[in-house]
């Protein structure tokens, strides 16, 4: 496996991993990966190892305000004390990171296509926690995303927002959506994700295999090492199914 560090895709800092060449890997499929809150593009294991090992081109990107473009006052804006003292203001800033990152995805896909690092019919997206939230929003932002996989992320924004993905189950088909939640998640409750999949079901009635909900029982937001590996296996299998055969 080869890795190209320090790439910039549509102005977004990225880490690109592949076997052989990026162009050859893109023939199999290109998968965008977004990290969790406070993380960066380098915190992507085991997902950005599993994807290129399966032959995909994996592209891990810094979310807005993170990594190489981390906000200078990130620790002030998202200080736990501020969250306690002014939840709505802090949560508004948090949701803006998600919205702004999802809004960049069409330009990222355009750039990858221009480089021949993606095929228009074989692009997917995935992410953990914050990155899972971004994945849901990005499917609405770019219809070229054929498959998405979220790990302990949510389609329901934490403040009333008309554009929250959970309000728009009618706009996801035919994208294949895999959601993996944790039963005891203290940050991203499983209930709203479960409800979202129930709302998706009528829109996928003729192709129910395009949606799948998995809930890991007895664990919180930070999955065990074994479940991290299992979530990665499921994610890779999802893209093998829907980018290659869907």
Query: Which domains are present in the chain?
Result: 2-244 (3.40.50.1820)
CA atoms within 13 A on the CB side of 8: 5
Q: Where does 172-224 have alpha helices with state H?
A: 190-200
Q: State the pLDDT confidence band at 47, using cuts at 50, 70 and 90.
A: confident
CA distance 104 to 235: 23
Q: Which residues contact 47 (CB under 8 A, 6 or more apart)?
A: 33, 58, 126, 128, 151, 232, 235
Residue with more model confidence, 42 or 156: 156
pLDDT digits (tens, 9 = 90+) for 204-241: 999 999 999 999 999 999 999 999 999 999 999 999 99
Query: Are the CB atoms for 227 and 39 separated by under 8 Å?
Result: no
Q: What is the pLDDT of residue 3?
A: 60
DSSP state at residue 37: T
- Across the range 67-72, mean pLDDT stands at 96
Q: Is the bond preceding residue 46 a cis peptide, omega within 30 degrees?
A: yes
Q: What is the pLDDT of residue 4?
A: 60
DSSP state at residue 242: I
Residue pointed to by tokens 């993996």:
180
% of the chain at pLDDT higher than 70 = 97
> Is residue 44 over pLDDT 90?
no
Q: Where does the chain have alpha helices with state H?
A: 22-28, 47-53, 74-77, 80-85, 87-114, 130-141, 190-200, 225-239
pLDDT digits (tens, 9 = 90+) for 184-210: 999 999 999 999 999 999 999 999 999
> Is residue 1 over pLDDT 70?
no
pLDDT digits (tens, 9 = 90+) for 84-128: 999 999 999 999 999 999 999 999 999 999 999 999 999 999 999
């Amino acid at each position: 496996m080869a890795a190209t560090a320090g790439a910039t895709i549509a102005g977004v800092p990225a880490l690109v991993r592949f076997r052989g060449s990026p162009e050859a890997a893109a023939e199999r499929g290109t998968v965008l990966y977004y990290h969790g809150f406070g993380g960066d593009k380098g915190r992507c294991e085991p997902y950005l190892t599993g994807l290129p090992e399966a032959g995909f081109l994996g592209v891990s990107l810094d979310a807005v305000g993170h990594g190489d473009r981390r906000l200078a006052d990130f620790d002030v804006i998202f200080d736990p004390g501020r969250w306690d003292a002014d939840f709505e203001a802090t949560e508004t800033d948090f949701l803006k990171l998600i919205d702004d990152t999802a809004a960049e995805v069409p330009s990222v896909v355009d750039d990858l296509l221009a480089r021949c690092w993606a095929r228009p019919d074989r692009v997917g997206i995935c992410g953990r926690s914050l990155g899972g939230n971004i994945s849901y929003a990005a499917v609405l932002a770019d219809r070229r995303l054929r498959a998405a996989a979220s790990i302990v992320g949510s389609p329901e924004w934490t403040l009333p927002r008309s554009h929250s993905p959970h309000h728009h189950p009618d706009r996801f088909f035919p994208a294949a959506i895999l959601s993996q939640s944790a039963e005891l998640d203290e940050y991203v409750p499983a209930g709203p994700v479960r409800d979202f999949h129930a709302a998706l079901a009528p829109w996928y009635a003729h192709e129910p295999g395009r949606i799948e909900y998995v809930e890991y029982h007895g664990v919180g937001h930070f999955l065990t090492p074994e479940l991290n590996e299992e979530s990665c296996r499921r994610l890779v299998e999802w893209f093998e199914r829907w980018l290659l055969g869907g």
